[in-house]
Structure 1
Amino acid sequence: MVSLVLLVLLVCSSSVVVSSLNAEGYALLSFKQSIYEDPEGSLGNWNSSDENPCSWNGVTCKEEKVVSVSIPKKRLYGLLPSALGSLSDLRHVNLRNNKFFGGLSFELFRAQGLQSLVLYGNSLSGSLPNDIGKLGYLQTLDLSQNMFNGSIPTSIVQCKRLKTLDLSQNNLTGSLPNGFGVNLVALEKLDLSFNRLNGSIPSDMGNLSNLQGTVDLSHNLFGGSIPASLGNLPEKVYIDLTYNNLSGPIPQNGALMNRGPTAFIGNPGLCGPPLKNPCSPDTTGATSPSSYPYLPSNYPPQSDDNRGGKARGLSKSAIIAIVVGDVVGICVVGLLFSYCYSRICIRNRTKDDNVYGFEKSRKGRKDCLCFRKDESETLSENVEQYDLVPLDSQVAFDLDELLKASAFVLGKSEIGIVYKVVLEDGLTLAVRRLGEGGSQRFKEFQTEVEAIGKLRHPNVVTLRAYYWSVDEKLLIYDYISNGSLASALHGKAGLVSFTPLPWSLRLRIMKGIAKGLVYLHEFSPKKYVHGDLKPSNVLLDQNMEPHISDFGLGRLANIAGGSPTLQSNRIASEKPQERIQKSTSSEVSTIISSTNLGSHYQAPEALKVVKPSQKWDVYSFGVILLEMITGRYPIVQVGTVEMNLVHWIQLCIEEKKPLSDVLDPYLAEDADKEEEIIAVLKIAMACVHSSPERRPAMRHVSDALERLAIPTD
């Protein structure tokens, strides 16, 4: 009898110890197992030892039933499991701004009580399952900023409680389902922009009387006429139909009246008010592609500073004077250096030094009296003097080899001098001097430069090593041999002729720059922003592949301290990089003026907002696209008035200038590429939208460019 009681107690006690996680918990654990990366440990407390998942991060329960899974912006990388569909009481899923990839399983829609599904800002792809129509309680569906393709499921019209539908910035095709406007009358927000939807706009969309804000159908392939029934939408609704293939007269009723031309730009076949393109009696809605570029001058709205008067910038005479002054200044400094070096320092040179043109100095020894400093000057305790730090296992050179190398001045910008350095074994590098400054921020500099050194992409210049001392900071990059995109587009100063880039090559360069930016924005460790993108910062290699350069340079210069702009005007010979002499060889390229055009690549909000955003880079990229299409600088002279390139294009489009008036004359032989050029022009105008929120992400810009024909050499 005692043995029987002990056996019962043993069984009872063991049943308490054994895990009793319920079925919903195991369903969520399968979700966790499908996550390959969780860098922030967001799912760290999802453990099988719990009785239920109600205490887990991102999980909300009601009466011990999971009703919500919300884990946004946690950089989760993995597949979206179908097991979520087994959560019978699930009402809300929010996994926005992560890195989920793969398709959207139809099994997810077994959770038929789902009220909101928010998955925007991931990398999900494939078609949308038709089972979406089973979600009769669905009120919010946001799948924007992904890579979904195929058509919008016809069953979506069964989701009659839907209030928010955002499918923008995907690759969706086909026409809108029948009954779209009849069944989805509860819709309050509708955004289908930046897809490839086609067909006509359903006339029943005028029934969506609950819509608010902006109804965005822009950047698609909708054709035919604008249905007059759209005027039945609430008058406060803004209808964005820009950049489609719509044609015919614009209806003048209700919500379509008094909208201004900005709601209709990018549709070559539209006519009538508010456009300046009157409808002819026999209007068919079709026009030649060459009549495309029309865009009102108030899109984006111009600030008062940019209307009528000269855009801020320097005159040509001022630019020439500054360039000449820079050249003369560097020559004078070079002569002074040569005199001092030959008269006072030459006795300290060894035979090896004479071969490579450098004075070798060990451990900060001050041998050249011209530039002697107080020998009591010391570095921070944590900084090793004259230490070259490799950032790549393939770096096989050391500081001594760098000092002995032949060196030539490549150019000067507001952030120091850039040298071309050829090592004894023939390896060529680019060395940028950041200038002088204190050592108090060394750790910050080290952290930043080593993070940049980890970036590896075919379209981003690689930082190979760096050098730090209290007086000098050097960045050692791969040398890109074919100069900058600015020189390829406009030629080099002093050269009368140059070989213009054909359209096929320009398109390939555009695609490469876009890929590099996508990498920086989405796949680099910190989702970086370049912040200063312009043609002079895009270098071309021997195969004319683009490489984005000067990334993170402004921040590094700021951390390094000093005044790079001033100090880059001085080339001394005491410290290692100062012994990289200014060469009189013909290999010295044009010095880059520190004046001038860079600000015209910056987004309008950059003047007001301190912290840069990725949409700044999108705007800059758009200006570069316009420059590559037109062959013009970012400042255009129109009579006696200067205006920036974006506003000039808008003016040309408003005045219905033919494409030939806008196009770079060197592209005249590429007339058969007119459709591609117009497509790129549309992409560019989307990128330079005055509102950052309305600009596409670089991923979608890159996708749009990739859909264009692959250029053939």
Structure 2
Amino acid sequence: MFLLVFFVLLLCNSHGLGGSLNDEGYALLSFRHGITDDPEGSLSNWNSSDESPCSWNGITCKQQRVVSVSIPKKKLYGLLHPALGALSQLRHVNLRNNKLFGSLPVELFGAQGLQSLVLYGNSLSGSVPSEIGKLTYLQTLDLSQNFFNGSFPSSIIQCKRLKTLDLSQNNLTGSLPEGFGTALVSLEKLDLSFNKFNGSIPRDMGNLSSLQGTVDLSHNLFSGSIPASLGNLPEKVYIDLTYNNLSGPIPQNGALMNRGPTAFIGNPGLCGPPLKNPCSSDTPGVSSPSSIPFLPDNYPPGNPDDSAGNSEKARGLSKRAVIAIVVGDVIGICLVGLLFSYCYTRVCPCGKGKDENGYGFEKGSKGRKECLCFRKDESETLSENVEQHDLVPLDTQVAFDLDELLKASAFVLGKSGIGIVYKVVLEDGLTLAVRRLGEGGSQRFKEFQTEVEAIGKLRHPNIVTLRAYYWSVDEKLLIYDFITNGNLATAIHGKPGMVSFTPLSWSVRLKIMRGIAKGLVYLHEFSPKKYVHGDLKPSNVLLGQNMEPHVSDFGLGRLANIAGGSPTLQSNRMAAEKPPQERQQKSATSEVSTTSSCTNMASCYQAPEVLKMVKPSQKWDVYSYGVILLEMITGRLPVVLVGASEMDLVHWIQLCIEEKKPLSDVLDPYLAPEADKEEQIIAVLKIAMACVHSSPERRPAMRHVYDALDRLAMSAD
């Protein structure tokens, strides 16, 4: 039907324009009409006045016929138009990492000469049409990181030339078709992970003798026994069967032999080596977990030069570091003193109550004063002659006004590169956190108002709620809920001078991991603008009364910039908590991460591509989240002491993998008593290493990370 309409329009247009553009050009223009937003102007030179589309962006022709449509990573937003199927000589379609939504049109498979169809990283949904079996020349099919559901069509076995099949990170269900392994003998890459495939693993899958790398069937619902025929796969192939419903003994032959438990965990019904639970009383004992590397042998190797001189374990802070911390604390106390002095001499000259220059209050208590003072200057106006001198609520539950806020008790909680944070207790006992963005500077009120009100609409149990704001020429304030249990950095490591430190149990850590992931999924996929946090780290994760995490400081850099401050994307607050030092660090490169050793604590959470000054991406947050997971597993700071030198945490973990260190050498010593949680810890470690992959495109989306953690937690209950 779509093609019929298309050809009718084509005839009309051809008649009206005298045939200036050929048929394939009009087919591509129909595709363009399905795109409602092209922010980078990728399709700007697609003009109907041209005779052919062969000079258009993303179009490749051969003998004046379109053979390729390749427009990846251009933020194209819209539907995938069926008119592409009218391109009879089309061989390659690459629309990966855009924002396409809707279903996969059946008409697309009218281009039966297709050799590659790459659509990963979009928001396509619905079922995959059975007409895909018509693509008998297809070699690459990558539909990963979408929202496809339903059973995958059995007609796929007709695509006998298929070399790459990646369906990971969707919601596909049903069983794999009979004859899967017999028909697709050319397959070199197979990734079905993070779906809901069920039924048994086809027994003929062992026929896929061309497979390479990892065969990933993890995080599905496959049941029954593991076919012994899987052992017939090439021995260098790593078979990932984690987190399914498989049961029975693990076959000990070929590619299934000499694998650590990491390939099989999350299947409670499995037994026998290399798992701890024997199938029967006479089954040979399982190797001690202390001798089992915590990741598979073929994990991406690091640079062999990086291992030299780094064999010593980081068991704690050196004497020099402890001295530096003490000195840092003294300096910090002095800075706080100067801060209070500044508050008295400049911010609060207003004395008791209000005066002609603004607001202030003074409390007498043996000569000591507390103040939270915000001046206003009636002689200055905001942009577009707008004046704003009142508290603006962003929530109907806000029952206090500016006067109540100014009369409240205020205590300095901390200071970062983006202003001072106060704990403010109102007379009725309500406790708030107030961030002061500074005084003076830009007067872009309308821009500030738009941004802060958009952030104020975000409501999620794992995101700190912005309740109100205040703007004047001299003061910009953000009023948040006060979160009671401090931040995650302190919960993991404690801090100098802490009287008592209660380490987090594994169950609490897993709860925090899930909560952070859930909050990020909300920001990335369900918030109005699909936000990027951009500055995620443990000090920006606050812990509530029941240790539930709340991601904070979201959008803060942008607001501070509008308010006239000079914040950096990554604040140095983390570095301020531990004194900055000159670091002599070795660089390390691998497929996991190619970033050089970080120069301060805060930069250790940055993804490698941040250094290229590209536009913020959600995959930045995924990388930062991965570092946080590593920190929670190891109990180590993001900069690890290795002998006399230092190394960032990601590269230190990579070094441990390369040297096949036991899990006990990596694990936070406080988690040592929870040896029964080893499988869960290893599973989270694998997720963390996927998150810190050097390639942003190969990092999982946060929704898939959350699904994996959620399934892990449910299996533990």
* TM bucket, shorter chain: 0.5 to 0.7
Distance (whole Å) between structure 1 residues aligned to residue 500 and residue 653 of structure 2: 26
Residue 673 (structure 2) aligned to one of 665, 668, 671:
668
Q: After TM superposition, give the deviation of residue 616 of structure 1 in Å.
A: 2.3
2:321 maps to a residue whose letter is S
Q: Report the equivalent of 1:145.
A: 145
Relative to 1, partners in 2 of residues 1:42 and 1:328: Cα closer, same or farther, differing over 3 Å? Answer: closer
Q: Report the equivalent of 2:332.
A: 326
Counting only pairs closer than 5 Å after superposition, residues 425-574 of structure 1 correspond to structure 2 as 425-439=428-442, 444-562=447-565
Cα distance per residue 1:164-197 (max 9 Å; x no partner): 533233356898766657644666x735164478
Q: Report the equivalent of 2:662.
A: 657
Counting only pairs closer than 5 Å after superposition, residues 590-669 of structure 1 correspond to structure 2 as 592=577, 595=580, 598-599=601-602, 601-603=604-606, 605-606=608-609, 608-611=611-614, 612-653=616-657, 654-659=659-664, 662-666=667-671, 668-669=673-674
Instruction: Tell me the secondary structure at the aligned position of residue 499 of structure 2.
Output: coil
Check whether the contact 1:247–1:268 (CA below 8 A) recurs between aligned residues: no
Q: Which is further off, 426-435 or 285-294?
A: 285-294
Distance (whole Å) between structure 1 residues aligned to residue 688 and residue 440 of structure 2: 40
Check whether the contact 1:409–1:420 (CA below 8 A) recurs between aligned residues: yes
Distance (whole Å) between structure 1 residues aligned to residue 207 and residue 352 of structure 2: 91
Q: Report the equivalent of 1:120.
A: 120
Relative to 1, partners in 2 of residues 1:178 and 1:601: Cα closer, same or farther, differing over 3 Å? Answer: farther
Instruction: Tell me the secondary structure at the aligned position of residue 547 of structure 2.
Output: coil
Distance (whole Å) between structure 1 residues aligned to residue 342 and residue 522 of structure 2: 45
Instruction: State, as a whole percentage, how many aligned pairs show the same letter.
Output: 61
Check whether the contact 1:319–1:595 (CA below 8 A) recurs between aligned residues: no
Relative to 1, partners in 2 of residues 1:594 and 1:465: Cα closer, same or farther, differing over 3 Å? Answer: farther
Q: After TM superposition, give the deviation of residue 298 of structure 1 in Å.
A: 7.7
Q: Which is further off, 407-416 or 522-531?
A: 522-531
Distance (whole Å) between structure 2 residues aligned to residue 118 and residue 486 of structure 1: 41
Relative to 1, partners in 2 of residues 1:248 and 1:331: Cα closer, same or farther, differing over 3 Å? Answer: farther
Counting only pairs closer than 5 Å after superposition, residues 6-21 of structure 1 correspond to structure 2 as none
Distance (whole Å) between structure 2 residues aligned to residue 119 and residue 675 of structure 1: 34
Residue 377 (structure 2) aligned to one of 340, 364, 386:
364
Q: Which runs of 5+ in 1 are unaligned?
A: 1-15, 18-26, 44-56, 209-213, 232-237, 252-260, 270-282, 366-374, 570-590
Q: Report the equivalent of 1:51.
A: none
Relative to 1, partners in 2 of residues 1:37 and 1:239: Cα closer, same or farther, differing over 3 Å? Answer: same
Residue 156 (1) aligns with residue 176 (2): no
Q: Report the equivalent of 2:413.
A: 410
Distance (whole Å) between structure 1 residues aligned to residue 580 and residue 433 of structure 2: 22
Cα distance per residue 1:34-79 (max 9 Å; x no partner): 9999999999xxxxxxxxxxxxx99999xxx999999987989999
Check whether the contact 1:293–1:659 (CA below 8 A) recurs between aligned residues: no
2:189 maps to a residue whose letter is L
Check whether the contact 2:114–2:137 (CA below 8 A) recurs between aligned residues: yes
Q: After TM superposition, give the deviation of residue 391 of structure 1 in Å.
A: 6.2
Q: Which runs of 5+ in 2 are unaligned?
A: 1-14, 17-26, 44-56, 244-249, 266-282, 364-368, 582-599
Relative to 1, partners in 2 of residues 1:423 and 1:680: Cα closer, same or farther, differing over 3 Å? Answer: same
Instruction: Tell me the secondary structure at the aligned position of residue 208 of structure 2.
Output: helix
Relative to 1, partners in 2 of residues 1:623 and 1:242: Cα closer, same or farther, differing over 3 Å? Answer: farther
Q: After TM superposition, give the deviation of residue 473 of structure 1 in Å.
A: 2.9
Counting only pairs closer than 5 Å after superposition, residues 687-706 of structure 1 correspond to structure 2 as 687-706=691-710
What TM-score results when the alignment is normalised by the length of structure 1?
Answer: 0.67
Q: After TM superposition, give the deviation of residue 85 of structure 1 in Å.
A: 9.2
Relative to 1, partners in 2 of residues 1:349 and 1:123: Cα closer, same or farther, differing over 3 Å? Answer: closer
Check whether the contact 2:353–2:360 (CA below 8 A) recurs between aligned residues: no
Cα distance per residue 1:304-349 (max 9 Å; x no partner): 999689999993322332222121232254357558999x764777
Instruction: Tell me the secondary structure at the aligned position of residue 394 of structure 2.
Output: coil
Q: After TM superposition, give the deviation of residue 513 of structure 1 in Å.
A: 0.9
Cα distance per residue 1:372-393 (max 9 Å; x no partner): xxx8xx4555465663463624
Check whether the contact 1:364–1:386 (CA below 8 A) recurs between aligned residues: no
Q: After TM superposition, give the deviation of residue 128 of structure 1 in Å.
A: 4.9
Relative to 1, partners in 2 of residues 1:485 and 1:229: Cα closer, same or farther, differing over 3 Å? Answer: closer
Q: Report the equivalent of 2:218.
A: 220
Instruction: Tell me the secondary structure at the aligned position of residue 531 of structure 1.
Output: coil
Q: Report the equivalent of 1:580.
A: none
Distance (whole Å) between structure 2 residues aligned to residue 35 and residue 408 of structure 1: 52
Distance (whole Å) between structure 2 residues aligned to residue 499 and residue 290 of structure 1: 26
Relative to 1, partners in 2 of residues 1:453 and 1:336: Cα closer, same or farther, differing over 3 Å? Answer: closer
Check whether the contact 1:243–1:682 (CA below 8 A) recurs between aligned residues: no
Q: After TM superposition, give the deviation of residue 514 of structure 1 in Å.
A: 0.9
Q: After TM superposition, give the deviation of residue 626 of structure 1 in Å.
A: 1.9
Q: Report the equivalent of 2:275.
A: none
1:556 maps to a residue whose letter is L
Q: After TM superposition, give the deviation of residue 412 of structure 1 in Å.
A: 1.9
Instruction: Tell me the secondary structure at the aligned position of residue 529 of structure 1.
Output: coil
Instruction: Tell me the secondary structure at the aligned position of residue 419 of structure 1.
Output: strand
Instruction: Tell me the secondary structure at the aligned position of residue 504 of structure 2.
Output: coil
Q: How many residues align?
A: 632
Q: After TM superposition, give the deviation of residue 103 of structure 1 in Å.
A: 7.3
Q: Report the equivalent of 1:586.
A: none
Check whether the contact 1:412–1:592 (CA below 8 A) recurs between aligned residues: no
Distance (whole Å) between structure 2 residues aligned to residue 66 and residue 700 of structure 1: 36
Q: After TM superposition, give the deviation of residue 422 of structure 1 in Å.
A: 2.4
Check whether the contact 1:632–1:664 (CA below 8 A) recurs between aligned residues: no
Cα RMSD (Å): 6.0
Check whether the contact 1:109–1:131 (CA below 8 A) recurs between aligned residues: yes
Check whether the contact 1:69–1:92 (CA below 8 A) recurs between aligned residues: yes
Check whether the contact 1:101–1:124 (CA below 8 A) recurs between aligned residues: yes
Distance (whole Å) between structure 2 residues aligned to residue 493 and residue 602 of structure 1: 22
Relative to 1, partners in 2 of residues 1:385 and 1:321: Cα closer, same or farther, differing over 3 Å? Answer: farther
- Give the structure, 1 or 2, with the largest relative contact order (CA under 8 Å, sep 6 or more): 1
Relative to 1, partners in 2 of residues 1:628 and 1:479: Cα closer, same or farther, differing over 3 Å? Answer: same
What TM-score results when the alignment is normalised by the length of structure 2?
Answer: 0.67
Relative to 1, partners in 2 of residues 1:111 and 1:535: Cα closer, same or farther, differing over 3 Å? Answer: same
Check whether the contact 1:385–1:469 (CA below 8 A) recurs between aligned residues: yes
Distance (whole Å) between structure 2 residues aligned to residue 468 and residue 109 of structure 1: 57
Residue 399 (1) aligns with residue 397 (2): no
Q: Which is further off, 678-687 or 644-653?
A: 644-653
1:676 maps to a residue whose letter is Q
Q: After TM superposition, give the deviation of residue 537 of structure 1 in Å.
A: 0.5
Residue 426 (structure 2) aligned to one of 402, 405, 423:
423
Distance (whole Å) between structure 1 residues aligned to residue 429 and residue 697 of structure 2: 48
Counting only pairs closer than 5 Å after superposition, residues 2-81 of structure 1 correspond to structure 2 as none
Instruction: Tell me the secondary structure at the aligned position of residue 424 of structure 2.
Output: strand
Cα distance per residue 1:445-494 (max 9 Å; x no partner): 44544443343333222233333344443222222222212222233543
Check whether the contact 1:507–1:711 (CA below 8 A) recurs between aligned residues: no
Cα distance per residue 1:130-149 (max 9 Å; x no partner): 55334435455321112446
Q: Which is further off, 482-491 or 85-94?
A: 85-94
Check whether the contact 1:508–1:711 (CA below 8 A) recurs between aligned residues: no
Q: Report the equivalent of 1:192.
A: 191
Cα distance per residue 1:397-416 (max 9 Å; x no partner): 44333222221111222322
Distance (whole Å) between structure 2 residues aligned to residue 310 and residue 503 of structure 1: 22
2:156 maps to a residue whose letter is I
Check whether the contact 2:377–2:473 (CA below 8 A) recurs between aligned residues: no
2:461 maps to a residue whose letter is P
Relative to 1, partners in 2 of residues 1:82 and 1:427: Cα closer, same or farther, differing over 3 Å? Answer: farther
Check whether the contact 1:173–1:195 (CA below 8 A) recurs between aligned residues: no
